Amino acid sequence: MNFKKLKAKIEEIGLDRIADGDFNVKEIDKSFKKSDFKVVHESERYDGNSIEMVFKHTDAKLGDIYVKLEGYYSSYEGTDWDTVSKVKPHKETVTVYK
């Protein structure tokens, strides 16, 4: 399943349900197994008000597709998820001085 179709299905199911894990992967595609769509990263951003989650979808033809959900902490409602985007993993080097 390409990113465009995957994004449409995620939006149809609802970003909140996806982020909370309150869905069955079969809702995305009947052929999916649990290992076909899983969380590989979750973090708060440096501002302390934003959060992101990255899911990895493994497609037999297209390879790995990484989908990032971005949101922010709402004062009363928990987290409001508002963005779905395609990302690629990359490595960064951090220099630590002791």
Asked if the structure places residue 70 within a domain, the reply is yes
Residue 73, C-beta contacts closer than 8 angstroms, at least 6 positions apart: 49, 50, 51, 79, 80
**For residue 77, what pLDDT is reported?**
66
How does pLDDT run across 45-81, given as a tens digit for each residue?
766 688 888 999 988 888 999 999 988 877 666 678 8
Range of 26's domain? 3-87
Asked if the structure places residue 33 within a domain, the reply is yes
Asked if the structure places residue 97 within a domain, the reply is no
- Domain at 43, CATH number: 3.10.450
Maximum CA pair distance of the chain?
52
Q: How confident is the model over 11-38, as a mean pLDDT?
A: 88
- Average pLDDT of every residue of the chain: 85
**For residue 93, what pLDDT is reported?**
80
Asked if the structure places residue 69 within a domain, the reply is yes
**For residue 97, what pLDDT is reported?**
76
Asked if the structure places residue 20 within a domain, the reply is yes
Distance CA 77, CA 96 (A): 38
Asked if the structure places residue 12 within a domain, the reply is yes
Query: What are the CA-CA distances from residue 86 to residues 3, 55, 68, 76 (Å)?
Result: 7, 10, 6, 29
Asked if the structure places residue 63 within a domain, the reply is yes
Distance CA 72, CA 52 (A): 8
- Counting the structural domains of the chain, the total is 1
